[in-house]
Structure 1
Amino acid sequence: MDAILIGIILGIVQGISEWIPISSKTQILLVSTLILGLSFSQGYAFGLFMEIGTIFAAIIYFRREVYNVILAIVKLGKGGDLKLLVYLIVVTIITGIVGVPIYLFIVNLITGPVVGIPMSILGLVLIIDGLVIYLSRKKFVPNRSLKDMRLKDFIIIGIAQGLAALPGVSRSGMTTSALLLLGVKPEEAFRLSFLALIPAALGAIGVSVIISKHTVTNVIHIISLNALVISIIVATLVSLILIESLLRFAKSNRILLLVFTLGAIALISGIISGLTSYLP
């Protein structure tokens, strides 16, 4: 298949699936195995590596927050956004503690049905989130933001994000669900979830390159460097559109529709992934 077409397909899949609750690494895994003939371990490692494009998009979109975090580091907490820095550090550390062992196990053992089951559960969780928001709005409006959150909240989010190392589990879906269940207002939940991606994805790429260096190198040779570059560019552009759309939607009164829709997508995606895993 033409390198440009491969790059466009992979970029679109990554750019869309990273921000909605259908595991991006699993979708890339499925596409790369079906279209490119990669093994499951190659597809899984490549799925993590493909997050370069979404990292670029997150940094570009949240450039002000990134600048304030860097400022807090440079000025040793005497400037910038110290609370956001602490949030990212704690969440990333916990993500690594939970996620790296899962990655080391999964990279050598990927079973079919497991891909679909966690995603279906996540879909149900998101739908429950929507019900919680709907019912809670009759008594109180979720209005927690980053300044109201404590260390235990950060740890919970880190655990949720670490569990996303499992095939079929969406990182954004896990973290957004955790934030919503902690009473964080929807628009802030999406923002904090997207920001947590940056250090977590950088770490995931680092682990993928270190642990599966030979596999990643082989995949790049199979796909070609041109296709990889194109896929990263496309993923960045598509991601910017998705981030803006989801955050705009989260600020509106239609947040319940968004949560229920994302939940349904995750549920259906999990069922389809589970069923296709049984196909020869």
Structure 2
Amino acid sequence: MDYILVAVLLGIVQGISEWLPISSKTQILLVSSFLLGLSFSEAYAFGLFMEIGTIFAAIMYFRKEIWRVIRVIFKRDDKEALILLKYLVVVTVITGLVGVRVYLFIEKLVTSAIIGIPMILLGIVLLIDGLVIYFSRRKHTPRKNIKELTIRDFIIVGLAQGLAALPGVSRSGMTTSALILLGVKPEDAFRLSFIAPIPAALGAIGVTVLFSKNEVTIALHSINMAGLGLSMIVATVISLLFINALLRFARTKRVIVLVSVLGILAIMSGVMSIFI
């Protein structure tokens, strides 16, 4: 198959799946192993490496929040930005402590069952999230924003993001679910979930290159650097569209439908992964 078409397809898959609870690294794993003939371990490493495009999109979309965080490091006059800085630091540290160990343990054990079962469980959790949102609204329960979160909450989100190093586990699905279950407003849960991976993913890419250099090299040779660059551009554009659409939807009363649909998608993707 033409490498340009392969690059575009990989970029589309990465740009869509990164923000849905269907594990982008798993979808890239399945697609790249099929199109490029990579082994599961090579495709798994490639899937983590492909996150560069979506992280660049997140940096572009949340550039104002990132600038506020950078600014507050030098001039602590913005309480919400200071809390966001603490959130990113704690979540990133916990993610690193958990995620690196999970990655090194699971890298050589990737199978379709290992991919599918965690995704199905995540889908069930998302359906529970939908019920939580529905019943909390009926009871008029106050919803948390970032100013009401504690270090304990940050640690829980970090653990959720670290466990997303498991194949079949969606990072955005895990962190959004954790935040909703902690009582965070859906819109803020999605926003914080999409901001959290920026520093963590950069570290994950470094870990992938450091510990899976051979697998990454084989994968890059399969698509070449021009193809990889094209994939990144496509993933960035698609990601910007999806982030905007999901955040807009999360502000509406139909967010319950959104979370429930995401849960169903995760379950379907997990079942399909098992039988591929």
Per-residue deviation, residues 86-105 of structure 1 (Å, max 9, x unmatched): 10000000011111101001
Equivalent residue of 2:196, what SS?
helix
Q: Which amino acid aligns with 2:117?
A: I
- Which residue is equivalent to 1:113? 113
Q: How does 1:1-280 map to 2 (within 5 A)?
A: 1-73=1-73, 75=74, 77=76, 81-276=81-276
1: CA distance, partners of 2:185 / 2:142:
5
Q: 1:68-108 deviations in whole A, cap 9, x for unaligned?
A: 111123x0645682111110000000011111101001112
Cα distance in 1, alignment partners of residues 102 and 75 from structure 2? 33
Q: Is this contact kept in 2: 1:142–1:184, CA < 8 A?
A: no
Using the alignment, how far apart are the partners of 1:4 and 1:76 within structure 2?
A: 46
The number of residue pairs the alignment matches comes to: 275
Summarize the Cα distance change of 1:107–1:145 in structure 2 as closer, same or farther, 3 Å threshold.
same
Instruction: Give the aligned residue type for 1:111.
Output: T
How much has 1:140 moved relative to structure 2? 2.3
Report Cα offsets for 1:148-201 as digits up to 9, x if no partner.
000000000000001100000000000000000000000000000000010111
SS in 2 for 1:224: helix
Following the alignment from structure 1 to structure 2, what is the Cα–Cα distance between the partners of residues 212 and 114? 19
Q: TM-score, normalised by structure 1?
A: 0.96
For each residue in 1:25-70, what CA deviation from the matched residue of structure 2 results, as whole angstroms up to 9, or x when unmatched?
Answer: 0000000101110011110000000000001100000000011111
After TM superposition, give the deviation of residue 214 of structure 1 in Å.
Answer: 2.3
1:46 maps to a residue whose letter is F
Q: Do the aligned residues in 2 keep the contact of 1:3 with 1:226 (CA within 8 Å)?
A: no
Report % sequence identity.
63
- Displacement over 6 Å in runs of 4+: none
Q: What amino acid maps onto 1:151 in structure 2?
A: I
SS of 1:165's partner is coil
Cα drift, residue 114 of structure 1: 1.1
Mapped partners of 1:147, 1:238: distance in 2: 31
Unaligned runs of 5+ in 1: none
TM-fit CA distance, 1:111? 2.4
* RMSD after superposition: 1.2
Higher helix share: 2
